Amino acid sequence: MSLVEVTDLSVGFGSLRAVDGLSFTLAEGAALALVGESGSGKSTVAGALLGLHRGTGARVTGSVRVAGTDVRHASDEELRRLRGARAAMVFQDPLSSLDPYYAVGDQIAEVHRVHTRVSRRAARARAVEVLDRVGIPDAARRARSRPHEFSGGMRQRALIAMALACGPDLLIADEPTTALDVTVQAQILDLLHTLREETGMGLLLVTHDVGVAAESVDDVLVMRHGRAVEYGPAGSVLAAPAQAYTRELLDAVPRVDARRTGSPAAAGEVVLEATGVRREFGRGKRRFAAVDDVSLTVRRGETLGVVGESGSGKTTLGRMLVGLLEPTAGGIRYAGRPHTGVDPAVQMVFQDPVSSLNPRRGVGESIADPLRAGGERDEQRIRERVTGLLERVGLDRAHYDRYPHEFSGGQRQRIGIARALAAEPRVIVCDEPVSALDVTTQAQVVALLGELQRELGLALVFIAHDLAVVRQVSDRVAVMRRGRLVEYGPADEVYDSPREAYTRQLLAAVPALDPELAARRRAARGEPAAV
């Protein structure tokens, strides 16, 4: 029996047709992945399954049936009964889905009470039960914690627990592992697989990561511009795609077992050096070292990759290298001299360009900031320089006066790169620059950085949790764990012959494009108790 039946679904917003004539089914207990680039219509489809476009002005046509409910023609009361009770959704960003002012357990209990009308005591007990089921340690105590007291992986588990509170027949997971490190990602995917086996619920997984799809589902539907490009069993679609676009998507996926294409950078002089750096946060008994006794060098023209799980100290190290944080101990040297404070020669590209760009200013003005800070006062020269940088990163000169919200994620990251280049740096530290981008956009940004590096002789520090991307771009790799450097050397040596068990554990958690290999790895891992 079909749990989900979608026939000729189309969704339009103004002149944009986000979904165009899409049809698919999902059987009870089965798992289907919607895969495609940003803007392909994946999340729009997920929203349509729960009637989330009602009242938004969107034009929805076609037929959508979920757990026996005709979603398009259901009353508001029928939709309320469907959402949460029969079909539940886990969104990409748990922080925006959880109320920061209320305990996580109270929020789960409230969802349960809305749909079941049980007592407060029973609802709280159910909240603790599902938190325990998704691997939150000491669930009774942690149920009283607020979202900011959870790690990223634990927040995602809490959202899954909320979705499970009413025992739904269908779980819709919209990019549930984006921006999570590989080990936490593997744990979340293993958890979803185990829950499916134990409860018999169906899973609709929305993802731009083809590897995540291979790890998790029975069938794959590849989308492009709102339409289905390819649809079939995961093993067939991923191993022998029939359509050129699917092959392009797969070719864009970085492989952890593939050596870097192109010649390694010639060893230039050391331009940036960290010696025994340590950075502490907090006071008294709560004081801890985010980075502890790390030493490394960055040479002209090379890329140093820095990998590790969330909380390993990668970003703190990057901010010290740039001068945004001062080491508690040890020192940073640039071009042989002590490096304190922000230096135009060492710039940073941040993970989230939206939060690093002023939404009230045109992007050209943001790119121009380093020029004005450097003393340039001629507005004509500033505009010429900025428009030239926009062109250099693959954007249009006319984009100078546009605002950040008018650009896609990949375009905003290019703007961040242009702003870093404005100061004419010798070193750029890239902190998770492609973590939230789909594979083709990710490949374009990585190619742009490589092109700029060769052209300008830049040294790059590439901080990322995606080990496959890091191998693709890096000459040398530093592996961090709990603030310390556990492995450090040429990229091919670290990846092909890792000395440390922790490095081997990270590599084993990277998603595999072969569903059979993914299943063997999942069985070998077992499900960890917590994130």
pLDDT in tens, 340-353: 888 899 999 987 77
Give the mean pLDDT of 104-130.
91
Q: Is the pLDDT of residue 87 over 80?
A: yes
- Looking at every residue in the chain, the average pLDDT score rounds to 89
Q: What is the amino acid identity at position 306?
A: V
C-alpha distances in angstroms, 298 versus 293, 426, 471, 499?
17, 11, 16, 22
Q: Which residues contact 390 (CB under 8 A, 6 or more apart)?
A: 364, 367, 396, 397, 399, 400, 415, 418
Strand order in the sheet with 202-207: 87-90, 170-174, 202-207, 31-35, 219-224, 227-233
Span 491-506, mean pLDDT?
Answer: 93
CA distance 160 to 90: 6
Q: ∠469-471-473 over CA atoms, to 5°?
A: 75
Rounded-to-integer distance, Cα 324 and Cα 343, Å: 10
| Span 383-405, average pLDDT | 91
Q: What is the mean pLDDT of residues 381-397?
A: 91
Please report, rounded to a whole number, the percentage of residues in the chain having pLDDT higher than 70: 97
> Average pLDDT for residues 45-59, to the nearest whole number?
93
Range with the lowest mean pLDDT among 6-20, 151-165, 444-458, 495-509?
A: 151-165
Helix (H), strand (E) at residue 417: helix 409-422
pLDDT in tens, 246-262: 998 888 888 888 777 66
pLDDT at 408 over 90: no
This prediction's pTM? 0.82
Q: Find the length of the chain.
A: 531
Residue 499 pLDDT? 94
HSE-CB for 398 with a 13 A CA cutoff: 1
In the predicted model, what is the mean pLDDT of residues 55-67?
94
The pLDDT assigned to 262 comes to: 61
Q: In the predicted model, is pLDDT for residue 29 greater than 90?
A: yes
The half-sphere exposure of 107 on its side-chain side, counting CA atoms within 13 A, is 24
If 0-12 CB within 10 Å is exposed, 13-18 middle and 19+ buried, where does residue 261 land? exposed
Backbone angles phi, psi at 497, to 5 degrees: -140, 65
- 351 versus 442: the higher-pLDDT residue is 442
Q: What angle do CA 118, 70, 81 make, to 5 degrees?
A: 10
**What is the arithmetic mean of pLDDT over 407-419?**
88
- At 173-210, the pLDDT tens digits run 988 887 677 888 888 888 888 889 888 999 999 998 88
Give the model's pLDDT for residue 530. Answer: 42
